[in-house]
Amino acid sequence: MRRDGRAGDFLLALLSRDWLGVPVAVLVAGVGGVLVAVGPGWAVALGALAMAVGVLLAAGAVRHLVLVAREARVNPPPGRLVDVGGHRMHVLGEGEAGGGPTVVWMPGGHAPGEDFRELHTMLSARARSVLVDRPGTGWSDVGPFPRTTAAEAEELPTALEAAGERAPFVFVGHSFGGLLVANVARRRPDLVAGLVLLDPTPLEVIAFAPPNRRLAAMRRGLLLAATRRLFGGRGGRTAHLCSAASAFDELTPSGLARVGWETVVYDGDLGDLPLVLVIPRDLIGGEAVLAGARDAAEAERISRFYLRGRVRYLAASTASRLVHTPEGTGHDFPHEAPEFVVGVVGDLVRELRVVSP
């Protein structure tokens, strides 16, 4: 989806409200009732059909609200809901800092913090570990639209401070989450002791890579899924789907052109901040990017482009280092090799604990 300014944001905000299905269903049924009451024969038939559709939509909309309410009752927030300027974000902190930095996890793909629960649980046995739900995900409120990396880079430290979590922080971000935490580090170096970037999204890849229809299809799919969910489809809030669709709008060449200065972390932006870049050695799990190559030469060029793009964050800090993931793992290595990831993060925490005054 290409967001069309305020109108697009308004529509996304509406679609993110789980109650929207009810008035839509009533409107459809009401239009049908008017046609039945005042229309000619053909209009009566059309009106009767609209009324029937409205009744079915209403039943689905009510079912959706029941499922959302049931899920909220069965799964109360395990952490704290804190205000970040008119909407609340969910923050779960566990474990003891022990004189070292607190680790903040940020999954990729605009996913909720719960996506990294396994990593969080493993690390909290040895350090302070925090999960945060981006607005519209997990237990967090929807938040204003558009959802942008720049806005969320302001919200994240605000939520941490409101929840009583104390700096310094080590931010750990995967994929799209890596882009977010790198932006936090650029904006608030006073809060950040170090970064661990798990195959973070390099925006040059979005701007200059071969056309990627999968991203556009993914955004359309999110909106279609949100619409189905409103009328009794699969359970869960529509907010997550709408928030992700909005956030992914900047992951296009045109979207990046609008937000590049506020969103790209350029060479040297992070000074001498300790930065660990963790990436796979090859394109395992990402073979789809080679599918559109016209020949072997272009496939080799595409592969080189993506592999070189993966290391660009090393130039953001003069204190960066590269770590490769275990053999056979791909972009989703935080779920494929959680012990390895926790080990990398734990090593940096220990290093920083030693050098801290």
pTM, full prediction: 0.92
Between 124 and 209, whose confidence is greater? 124
Confidence of residue 355 (pLDDT cuts 50, 70, 90): low
Q: Within a domain: residue 159? A: yes
**Same domain as 174, residue 138:** yes
Q: Within a domain: residue 235? A: no
DSSP conformation class of 321: E
**Same domain as 159, residue 33:** no
Contact between 133 and 163 under an 8 Å Cβ cutoff? The reply is no
Provide the H-helix boundaries in 270-324: 296-309
Per-residue pLDDT tens for 47-98? 999 999 999 999 999 999 999 999 999 999 999 999 999 999 999 999 999 9
3-state secondary structure of 266: coil
Phi, psi of 215, deg, nearest 5: -65, -45
Per-residue pLDDT tens for 130-181? 999 999 999 999 999 999 999 999 999 999 999 999 999 999 999 999 999 9
3-state secondary structure of 333: helix
Between 251 and 1, whose confidence is greater? 251
**Same domain as 280, residue 134:** yes
**Same domain as 257, residue 162:** yes
Q: Within a domain: residue 211? A: no
Residue 199 clears pLDDT 90, i.e. is over it = yes
Contact between 262 and 253 under an 8 Å Cβ cutoff? The reply is no
**Same domain as 26, residue 162:** no
> Of 26, 55, 76, which closes a domain?
76
Q: Is the peptide bond before 101 cis (omega within 30 degrees of 0)?
A: no
Long-range own/partner contacts, residues 59-63 (CB < 8 A, 24 or more apart) = 59/232, 60/21, 60/25, 60/230, 60/231, 60/232, 60/233, 61/21, 61/22, 61/24, 61/25, 61/230, 61/231, 61/232, 62/22, 63/232
**Domain encompassing residue 181:** 81-201+251-350
Per-residue pLDDT tens for 273-291? 999 999 999 988 777 777 7
Q: Measured between alpha carbons, how far is 66 from 236 in angstroms, rounded to an integer?
A: 10
Over range 33-39, report the average pLDDT.
90
Q: Within a domain: residue 328? A: yes
In the prediction, which pLDDT does 4 show?
Answer: 54
Q: Which residues of 171-209 are buried (b: 16+ CB within 10 A; e: fewer)?
A: bbbbbbbbbbbbbbbbbbeebbbbbbbbbbbbbebbbee
Please report which helix (H) or strand (E) contains residue 210, including its range.
none
In the prediction, which pLDDT does 2 show?
Answer: 43
- Which bin fits 5, alpha (ψ -120 to 50), beta or left (φ > 0)? left
Average pLDDT, the chain: 92
**Same domain as 91, residue 59:** no
Q: Measured between alpha carbons, how far is 357 from 354 in angstroms, rounded to an integer?
A: 8
CB atoms within 10 A of CB 290: 16
Q: For 92-101, 197-206, 248-257, which range has the lowest pLDDT when averaged over its residues?
A: 248-257
**Same domain as 191, residue 140:** yes
Tokens of 151: 């806005």
**Same domain as 95, residue 182:** yes
Q: Within a domain: residue 356? A: no
Tokens of 1: 């989806």
Burial class (CB in 10 A: 0-12, 13-18, 19+), 117: middle
Contact between 337 and 326 under an 8 Å Cβ cutoff? The reply is yes
**Same domain as 13, residue 137:** no
How many domains does the chain contain in total?
2
Over range 297-301, report the average pLDDT.
88
Between 298 and 241, whose confidence is greater? 241
Q: Within a domain: residue 212? A: no
> Of 41, 57, 76, which closes a domain?
76
Confidence of residue 356 (pLDDT cuts 50, 70, 90): low
In the prediction, which pLDDT does 68 show?
Answer: 94
Going edge to edge, which strands form the sheet with 320-324?
80-83, 88-94, 129-132, 102-106, 169-174, 192-198, 275-279, 320-324
> Of 76, 91, 120, which closes a domain?
76
Over range 306-315, report the average pLDDT.
93
**Same domain as 96, residue 51:** no
Confidence of residue 251 (pLDDT cuts 50, 70, 90): confident
Residue 1 clears pLDDT 60, i.e. is over it = no
Per-residue pLDDT tens for 102-124? 999 999 999 999 999 999 999 99
Q: Within a domain: residue 242? A: no
